[in-house]
Amino acid sequence: MTYPIEKTDADWQKLLAEKGAEPAAFQVTRHAATERPFTGKYETVWADGSYHCVCCGNKLFDSDTKFDAGCGWPSFSEAVPGSIKEIVDHTHGMIRTETVCAQCGAHLGHVFPDGPTPTGLRYCMNSASLDFDPNK
């Protein structure tokens, strides 16, 4: 799959290092790793603002869609329209829906059909794939 923003692994590593991204950011975003539950820096952040892709800055979620799902990862009920692509994920012996940034293909997490109304969705994201902006 191609995306509007494409870079080599070396370029992504350099960019994330220059941004001061957390150490797991490269493995999470570019190689679909997952941070351990309840360890991400945004799991318990409840401030007003917006969440963006740590790789390219694409706005992904508004803070008013964040909720405590109890799963150990930042969870949202709704993504910014057009900001995320969904991919069927057959890893780990199950079928899930992976979410990636629509601009650069960064792995963000997974979406599940057990969230709150009105969407009924639970976007569980890795903190390492996100940047928080308090200015929305």
Q: Catalytic residue positions? A: 124
- The token duo for 91 is 């890893």
Closest CA to 41 of 59, 56, 23: 23
Cα-based distances in Å from 11 to 7, 55, 70, 86, 123: 6, 10, 35, 24, 28
Residues constituting the chain: 136
Cα-based distances in Å from 65 to 16, 69, 70, 75, 124: 26, 12, 15, 8, 12
